[in-house]
C-alpha cells in the first residue's frame, strides 16, 4: 500500500512509519515540525534502510496539502498530526480547536476529493473522562474535561458524519491508552520540548540526572499503593496496531473503534521501580499534591482489538522501561 502519515515525524508517527516500511509498504509523511524535528526521518531510514518522501507542510495550509495529494496516490491516510498538551489546551483552547479540528477538516476534504478509501485516526482514552468502572470497553459513555480531549471527541463525531456521506470508505478510530518506550534501536523515541508533563519521560530524565526528583502526584487514591494507575503501552506495539487497522480497513467499510492498551494497569510507584531496575540505580521521588484533572485509575479492555484486528500488545513494562532508558541515554543532550 502507499500510505500518507500526517504528523509523521512525531513520536507515534515515526514509530508507525518504521513498522510500515519494515512491512514493505510505501510511505509519504508530512509535518510542520511544531513538535518534532526533521532529523527523525534520517533515523527512520537508518533503522529500516528504506527511503521515503517527506513534505514540510502544515495541515492548516490547504495549498501545501493539495500538492501532496496531487503528487502522490494514496491507498490510506493515518492521521497523527495534532497538538496534545492537556494543560496548554486549557490556556489556549482556540489554538487547539483551530489546529486539530480545522486541520482534520482540511485533510478529510482532500481525502474525499482524491477518493482515498481508508483512514486511521489517533484518538485517546481521554474521551472516556473518569470511567465509572474498569476495564474500559469501547461502548463506555464518553465525555471530556479539557479542550484537547474535546478535539478528539469532536473529530470522532466528524468521522462518523463523514462516513455517513461517504459510505465506500473505511475508518478506524484508535483510542490510545498511555504510549511509552522507544524503538529498541534507541534511534527514535519521545522527545518532548521543555520539561515533560508525562510520567515516563519525566522519570527517564530524573534517572539521567537531568531533573532532581519525580513529583508523585498524589498517594491517597483508592488504588493498591495510593498512586495513580494507568495502562502503559509500548509505542512499537501501538505502531503495529495501526498496521492491523489498515488490514481491517482494506476488508470492510464503516467506522471501527478500538482501544489500544495492554489491559494491565501499573501505579506510578510500580513504574518508578521498573525504571530503577532498567537503569540500575535508585531514582529520587517525593510525594506531591494530586494534579488537577487526574483520575485514580484507567486501563483498557483490549478484547475488541484482539478479536477483530488480531492484535495484542506483546511488550511488557520491563521492556518499556529498558527501551525508554536506552533512548534517554543515547540522547542525554535532548
Per CB under 6 A, residues contacting ligand NAD are: 7, 9-13, 31-36, 58-60, 80-84, 99, 103, 122, 124, 176, 179
Residue 299 appears among annotated catalytic residues: no
Nearer to ligand UD1, 86 or 246 (CB): 86
- Minimal CA–CA distance to 240: which of 301, 313, 188? 313
CA distance 223 to 66: 50
36 binds, among ligand NAD, ligand UD1, none (CB under 5 to 8 A by kind): ligand NAD
Strand 214-217 and strand 229-230: the pairing is: unpaired
Instruction: Report if residue 86 touches ligand UD1, rule: CB under 6 A.
Output: yes
Binding segment toward ligand UD1, per CB under 6 A, in 32-40, 110-118, 184-192, 196-204: 196-204
Instruction: Report if residue 230 touches ligand UD1, rule: CB under 6 A.
Output: yes
Count other C-beta atoms under 10 Å from residue 54's C-beta.
19
Instruction: Report if residue 294 touches ligand UD1, rule: CB under 6 A.
Output: yes
Nearer to ligand UD1, 106 or 302 (CB): 302
Residue among 198, 223, 306, 319 that touches ligand UD1 (CB under 6 A)? 198
Q: Dihedrals φ, ψ of 155, to 5°?
A: -65, -35
Nearer to ligand UD1, 152 or 315 (CB): 152
Residue among 109, 215, 253, 306 that touches ligand UD1 (CB under 6 A)? 215
Q: CA angle 123-107-151, nearest 5°?
A: 35
CA distance 290 to 12: 28
Q: How far is the CB of 36 from ligand NAD (least distance, A)?
A: 3
CA distance 249 to 243: 10
Q: How far is the CB of 130 from ligand NAD (least distance, A)?
A: 17
Residue among 202, 208, 308, 316 that touches ligand UD1 (CB under 6 A)? 202
CA distance 327 to 324: 5
Whole-angstrom distance between the N-terminal and C-terminal Cα of the chain? 34
Nearer to ligand NAD, 12 or 271 (CB): 12
Q: What is the dihedral of CA 150, 151, 157, 162, to 10 degrees?
A: 170
Nearer to ligand UD1, 119 or 177 (CB): 177
Binding segment toward ligand UD1, per CB under 6 A, in 3-11, 133-141, 161-169, 194-202: 194-202
Binding segment toward ligand UD1, per CB under 6 A, in 66-74, 154-162, 197-205, 273-281: 197-205
Instruction: Report if residue 126 touches ligand UD1, rule: CB under 6 A.
Output: yes
Residue 164 region by backbone torsions, left for phi larger than 0, else alpha for psi between -120 and 50, else beta: alpha
302 binds, among ligand NAD, ligand UD1, none (CB under 5 to 8 A by kind): none
CA distance 89 to 200: 21
215 binds, among ligand UD1, ligand NAD, none (CB under 5 to 8 A by kind): ligand UD1
Catalytically annotated residue among 11, 96, 128, 148: 148
Strand 76-79 and strand 118-124: the pairing is: parallel
Nearer to ligand UD1, 107 or 216 (CB): 216
Q: Dihedrals φ, ψ of 167, to 5°?
A: -70, -10
Q: How far is the CB of 27 from ligand UD1 (least distance, A)?
A: 24
Instruction: Report if residue 97 touches ligand UD1, rule: CB under 6 A.
Output: no
Q: Cell numbers for 217, please give them.
A: 502526584
- Residue partners of 71: CB distance under 8 A and separation at least 6: none
Q: Are 225 and 219 in contact (CB under 8 A)?
A: yes
Q: How far is the CB of 120 from ligand NAD (least distance, A)?
A: 11
Q: Which residues does the annotation mark as catalytic?
A: 148
Amino acid at each position: 500500500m502507499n500510505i500518507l502519515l500526517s504528523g509523521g515525524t512525531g513520536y507515534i508517527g515515526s514509530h508507525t512509519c518504521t513498522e510500515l516500511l519494515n512491512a514493505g509498504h510505501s510511505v509519504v509523511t508530512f509535518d510542520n515540525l511544531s513538535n518534532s524535528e526533521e532529523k527523525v526521518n534520517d533515523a527512520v531510514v537508518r533503522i529500516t534502510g528504506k527511503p521515503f518522501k517527506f513534505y514540510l507542510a502544515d495541515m492548516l495550509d490547504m495549498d501545501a496539502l493539495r500538492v501532496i495529494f496531487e503528487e502522490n496516490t494514496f491507498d490510506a491516510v493515518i492521521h497523527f498530526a495534532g497538538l496534545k498538551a492537556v494543560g496548554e489546551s486549557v490556556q489556549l483552547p482556540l489554538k487547539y480547536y483551530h489546529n486539530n479540528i480545522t486541520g482534520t477538516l482540511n485533510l478529510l476534504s482532500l481525502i474525499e476529493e482524491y477518493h482515498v478509501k481508508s483512514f486511521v485516526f489517533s484518538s485517546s482514552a481521554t474521551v472516556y473522562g473518569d470511567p465509572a468502572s474498569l476495564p474500559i470497553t469501547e461502548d463506555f459513555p464518553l465525555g471530556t474535561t479539557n479542550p484537547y480531549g474535546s478535539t478528539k471527541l469532536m473529530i470522532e463525531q466528524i468521522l462518523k458524519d463523514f462516513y455517513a456521506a461517504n459510505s465506500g470508505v473505511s475508518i478506524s478510530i484508535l483510542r490510545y491508552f498511555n504510549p511509552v518506550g522507544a524503538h529498541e534501536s534507541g534511534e527514535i523515541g519521545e522527545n518532548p520540548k521543555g520539561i515533560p508533563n508525562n510520567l515516563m519521560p519525566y522519570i527517564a530524565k530524573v534517572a539521567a540526572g537531568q531533573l532532581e526528583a519525580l513529583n508523585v502526584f498524589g498517594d491517597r487514591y483508592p488504588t493498591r499503593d495510593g498512586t495513580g494507575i494507568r495502562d502503559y503501552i509500548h509505542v512499537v506495539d501501538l505502531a503495529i496496531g495501526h498496521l492491523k487497522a489498515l488490514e481491517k480497513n482494506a476488508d470492510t467499510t464503516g467506522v471501527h473503534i478500538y482501544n489500544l492498551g495492554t489491559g494491565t494497569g501499573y501505579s506510578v510507584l510500580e513504574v518508578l521501580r521498573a525504571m530503577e531496575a532498567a537503569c540500575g540505580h535508585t531514582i529520587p521521588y517525593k510525594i506531591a499534591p494530586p494534579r488537577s484533572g487526574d483520575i485514580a485509575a484507567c486501563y483498557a479492555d483490549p478484547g475488541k482489538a484482539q478479536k477483530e484486528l488480531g492484535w495484542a500488545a506483546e511488550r511488557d513494562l520491563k521492556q518499556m522501561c529498558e527501551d525508554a532508558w536506552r533512548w534517554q541515554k543515547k540522547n542525554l543532550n535532548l
